[in-house]
Amino acid sequence: MKNIDIKRMIKQLPIGISIFLLSAFLRPNRVHAEFSSELSKVMTTYCAKIDAYFKKYKWGKSNCDTYKWNHVRNSVAGDPLSWVVFGNQEPGKDKKIEATMIMCGVHGDEITPVKFCFDILTMLKNSPALYEGKSVIVAPIVCPDSFFKNKPTRTNANKVDINRNFPTKDWHSHALKYWSSRYRKDPRRFPGHKPLTEPEVVFQVNLIKRYAPDKILSVHAPLTMLDYDGPSDLHSHQHLDEGANELLIQMAQKAKGYRIIDFPHYPGSLGNYAGNELKIPTYTLELPSSDPAKSEEFWVLFKDAITEAITKDLKRIKDNSSTVQANPGEAVGKSSATKAEQGADQTDQVAN
């Protein structure tokens, strides 16, 4: 039905009813609009593709077609770079809304994180209380081109590692240099010829700009650790962001004392861009393995940690406490830094 017909219809109704109908018609769908009654053609096709991979990995049903997907741009090979928002749809415009952004499937050869994000979608769908008065943004397959392959790859269709292509301040001076010296031009870690050349990176940068998240969780595998970048970075111990550090410890505790490791910043990585430069607490969860058969096990292990990450209101904690100078002998910094020093050499070659 065309707009003009609706307007004509409304004109013939009593004024009070007309105003009500017109406002309902014009009002954007903001609250609890995360479940879809109709899916775009593009997303219907994409959900069928997702379902086929769920079948391949014996993951059961994805329920992909039950969510209200957002989609603006496509991957290099043309799949929709899509995301779902639970709760408040525009947290960036309301400074009081806590927004948590969760991203999976950044490296397509890390299979388990994709199922992990769909488990998060299911949990949110079944427990609206988790995001009441909040906003949770979930992008479950950030790099579809690397995931939807017979032999999934780390890099995207342009053969770029999208976790090295963020426009960080050190990109021009260090990204290619680091790639050739440290990684001996390993094609799996190619950062691109320039920063921000890849649609999957533009996608993430725009999501961050649009929703202004208070924290970001990026799920990878298989390094078996939790890494943190952001205010009060473990490197510097300069300013303690109480809530962000508290959450780091709580997440580890809720996952049977999962190991916290302070990874170095890489030129062009999300942790460097969002955590180090934009000062958004950014948590990189590295699941213990990429084996699709272990997905259920990992969800059981981390479900409470994810619940904590979604429900913890970092904005409120930050607003209620003034910036406190860190004491390097206390909080998470010291103990984890020691682990970091031990762990860095072992894990450096397989960096997230």
Please, where are the H alpha helices in 89-198?
Answer: 112-126, 144-147, 176-182
- CB of residue 154 to Zn ion, shortest distance in Å: 7
- CB of residue 32 to Zn ion, shortest distance in Å: 33
Of 242, 259, 349, nearest in space to 301 by CA: 259
* Residue (232 or 282) nearer to Zn ion, CB: 282
- Is the CB of residue 25 less than 8 Å from the CB of residue 6? yes
What CA–CA distance (Å, rounded) separates 227 from 221?
A: 12
- Give residue 72's Cα distance to chain centre: 17
What CA–CA distance (Å, rounded) separates 119 from 300?
A: 10
- CB of residue 209 to Zn ion, shortest distance in Å: 23
* Residue (156 or 232) nearer to Zn ion, CB: 156
Out of 34, 98, 107, 111, name the contact with Zn ion by CB under 5 A.
107
Cβ partners under 8 Å of residue 174, min gap 6: 267
Could you tell me which stretch among 23-31, 103-111, 168-176, 225-233 binds Zn ion (CB under 5 A)?
A: 103-111
Contact string 156-175 vs Zn ion (x = CB under 5 A): --------------------
Could you tell me which stretch among 89-97, 124-132, 217-225, 254-262 binds Zn ion (CB under 5 A)?
A: 217-225
* Residue (134 or 220) nearer to Zn ion, CB: 220
Could you tell me which stretch among 83-91, 212-220, 276-284, 338-346 binds Zn ion (CB under 5 A)?
A: 212-220
Could you tell me which stretch among 84-92, 106-114, 250-258, 263-271 binds Zn ion (CB under 5 A)?
A: 106-114
* Residue (79 or 110) nearer to Zn ion, CB: 110
Could you tell me which stretch among 72-80, 243-251, 302-310, 344-352 binds Zn ion (CB under 5 A)?
A: 344-352
Out of 68, 115, 220, 265, name the contact with Zn ion by CB under 5 A.
220
Give yes or no for residue 189 binding Zn ion (CB under 5 A): no
* Residue (104 or 326) nearer to Zn ion, CB: 104
What CA–CA distance (Å, rounded) separates 43 from 173?
A: 40
If you write DSSP's letter for every residue of 292-340 in order, what string do you get?
Answer: GGGHHHHHHHHHHHHHHHHH--HHHHHHHS--EE--TTSHHHHHHHHHH
What DSSP designation does 258 have? P
Of 27, 72, 75, nearest in space to 49 by CA: 75
Of 256, 225, 215, 5, nearest in space to 103 by CA: 215
Q: Tell me the residue number closest to Zn ion, measured at CB.
A: 220
What CA–CA distance (Å, rounded) separates 3 from 240?
A: 54
Of 192, 269, 211, nearest in space to 90 by CA: 211
- CB of residue 107 to Zn ion, shortest distance in Å: 4
* Residue (263 or 299) nearer to Zn ion, CB: 263
For 202, the enclosing helix (H) or strand (E) is helix 199-211
Could you tell me which stretch among 11-19, 107-115, 130-138, 325-333 binds Zn ion (CB under 5 A)?
A: 107-115
Give yes or no for residue 352 binding Zn ion (CB under 5 A): yes
Give yes or no for residue 269 binding Zn ion (CB under 5 A): no
Q: What residue ranges bind Zn ion (CB under 5 A)?
A: 107, 110, 220, 352
